[in-house]
Structure formats: structure tokens, C-alpha cells
């Protein structure tokens, strides 16, 4: 296995830097799965650009708060990650990158799963057939579980960090959904009376709550 020697003061960008065994096809697939959170954030941005829909803003704010919570919890627990075949991560032991509990990717996917599925079944204002909803829910759950398995396969996290991360994400996702319905959506409807705000985003088909 080759060791990369970086020049002084040069570090990899930790969001997209994923190590895997050379020639391992499964490892390659797992790397792509580990990029899923970034792709999902990008799709939220696409949604916002096309529709200027405020729902996409709600999701993005929720996901980013979830990430902030994850960074706080990593500092609180201070669990180490598994060693990758005797090599530690490039960064030193004191940086955030090397703490492992809870897993950020799994927490992201847990939040994504619970928020999107609950939103789709309980609040989505465009008509989707029930069997389509079931199909999408199953696909979303399979995707999130694949990302969690990829974190375990590439030895970035122990299994307990993965499970706790996923469950924290699910829990936070549901409570964020409830706060959107009760607090944030009525507040933003109130805010659209100001002209600059209604230029920034649109609330399509205000839901009758």
C-alpha cells in the first residue's frame, strides 16, 4: 500500500477524501456511496434553483443543523475511529476528522430518510400514487442503509457509531418535521408579506393547516 506524502501544511478536503483498498471494486462502490450526502445537498440546490420553493430551504436548514449537532456530539464523545490496517488518518489525533461517534454520514442519511419519508406521506401537496410513494420509501431506505454499510466496509466507523448515528439522525429528522409544521412554515408565510423576502423564495400552494 502506497503512503502519500503531502507537502508541509497541505491537507486533504475531508468532506470528499475517502480511502479504499486499491483494486477493490466493492471499495470503489462504497466510496461513491460515501459521497451521497454531497450529491443529496446538490439536488436540494437544484430543486431550489428550479422552483425557488421554500420547502427545499427547510430541508437544507435541517440537514445543516444536523451536521452542526454531529460535530458537537463528536467533540462530546471523543471516540476514536477504527485503524485502517495499522494506518491512522492523515490528520492528527486532535482534529475533528479522527473522532468517530456518531457517524456523520449515517446521521445525515438518517435525517434524510425520516424527514423525506414523513414529508412525502403526510404533507406533500402534489398527487403521488400510493404505490409510487411506497416504492420511493423503500428506495430511500435502501440507499441510506447502503451508505451506512459503506462506512462500515471502508472501516471509517465501528458498527456502534453507525447505528447510533443513524438513529440520532432519524430522531432529529422527525422532531424537525414537527417544528417545520408548527413553527417554521407559519413563520415563513408571515414573512412573505415583506417584499424582499418574497423575492427570495416562493411558497407554492400554501398548505392549509
Partner 1 sequence: MNWVVLGSLLLFIASVYTLRLILIIPCFTAASESNKDGKDSSLLKLKQEDVRGLQLFIFLGSGGHTGEMLRLLQNYKNILLNKDTTLHVGYSDNESLKKMKKLSDAFECKVKFYEFKKAREVGANVKSSLKTIIVTLLASLMHVVNIKLHMLNKPHLVLLNGPGTCCIITTWFKLIDLLCLFTSSNIIYVESLARIKTLSLTGKILYWLADEFVVQWKDLQTPYPRSKHFGILV
| Inter-residue contact 165 to 103 (CB < 8 Å) | yes
Near partner 1 by CB under 8 A: residue from 57, 143, 149, 163: 163
Question: Could you tell me the three cell numbers for 124?
Answer: 406533500
C-alpha to C-alpha distances, 127 to 33, 121, 122, 132, 209, nearest whole angstrom: 30, 11, 12, 10, 18
Is 182 a residue that touches partner 1 (CB under 8 A)?
yes
Question: Mapping DSSP to helix (H, G, I), strand (E, B) and coil, where does residue 72 land?
Answer: helix
Is 132 a residue that touches partner 1 (CB under 8 A)?
no
Give CA–CA dist 2/13, Å, rounded.
Answer: 19
Min. distance of Cβ 177 from partner 1 in angstroms? Answer: 7
Near partner 1 by CB under 8 A: residue from 58, 111, 112, 177: 177
- The smaller minimum CB distance to partner 1, of residues 77 and 199, is found at 77
Is 53 a residue that touches partner 1 (CB under 8 A)?
no
How many secondary structure helices (H) and strands (E) does the chain include? 8, 0
Is 160 a residue that touches partner 1 (CB under 8 A)?
yes
- The smaller minimum CB distance to partner 1, of residues 20 and 176, is found at 176
Near partner 1 by CB under 8 A: residue from 17, 175, 194, 199: 175
Is 205 a residue that touches partner 1 (CB under 8 A)?
yes
Count, residues near partner 1 per rule CB under 8 A: 25
Of the ranges 52-60, 62-70, 133-141, 158-166, which one interacts with partner 1 (CB under 8 A)?
158-166
Is 164 a residue that touches partner 1 (CB under 8 A)?
yes
Question: Mapping DSSP to helix (H, G, I), strand (E, B) and coil, where does residue 208 land?
Answer: coil
Min. distance of Cβ 166 from partner 1 in angstroms? Answer: 9
For 151-203, the three-class secondary structure string (H helix, E strand, C coil) is HHHCCCCCHHHHHHHHHHHHHHHHHHHHHHHHHHHHHHHHHCCCHHHHHHCEC
| Inter-residue contact 156 to 43 (CB < 8 Å) | no
Please report, as ranges, the residues that interact with partner 1 according to CB under 8 A. Answer: 114, 118, 122-127, 160, 163-164, 167-168, 170-171, 174-175, 177-178, 181-182, 205, 207-209
Amino acid at each position: 500500500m502506497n503512503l502519500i506524502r503531502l507537502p508541509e501544511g497541505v491537507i486533504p478536503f475531508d468532506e470528499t477524501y475517502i480511502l479504499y483498498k486499491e483494486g477493490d471494486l466493492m471499495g470503489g462502490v462504497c466510496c461513491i456511496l460515501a459521497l451521497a450526502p454531497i450529491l443529496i445537498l446538490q439536488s436540494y440546490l437544484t430543486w431550489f434553483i428550479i422552483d425557488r420553493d421554500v420547502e427545499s430551504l427547510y430541508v437544507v436548514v435541517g440537514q445543516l443543523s444536523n451536521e452542526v449537532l454531529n460535530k458537537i456530539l463528536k467533540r462530546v464523545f471523543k471516540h476514536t475511529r477504527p485503524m485502517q490496517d495499522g494506518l491512522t488518518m492523515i490528520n492528527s489525533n486532535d482534529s475533528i476528522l479522527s473522532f468517530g461517534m456518531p457517524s456523520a454520514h449515517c446521521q445525515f442519511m438518517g435525517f434524510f430518510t425520516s424527514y423525506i419519508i414523513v414529508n412525502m406521506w403526510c404533507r406533500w401537496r402534489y398527487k403521488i400514487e400510493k404505490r409510487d410513494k411506497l416504492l420511493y420509501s423503500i428506495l430511500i431506505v435502501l440507499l441510506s442503509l447502503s451508505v451506512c454499510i459503506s462506512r462500515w466496509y471502508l472501516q471509517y466507523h465501528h458498527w456502534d457509531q453507525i447505528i447510533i448515528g443513524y438513529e440520532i439522525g432519524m430522531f432529529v429528522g422527525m422532531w424537525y418535521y414537527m417544528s417545520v409544521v408548527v413553527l417554521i412554515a407559519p413563520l415563513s408565510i408571515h414573512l412573505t408579506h415583506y417584499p424582499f423576502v418574497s423575492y427570495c423564495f416562493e411558497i407554492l400552494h400554501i398548505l392549509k393547516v
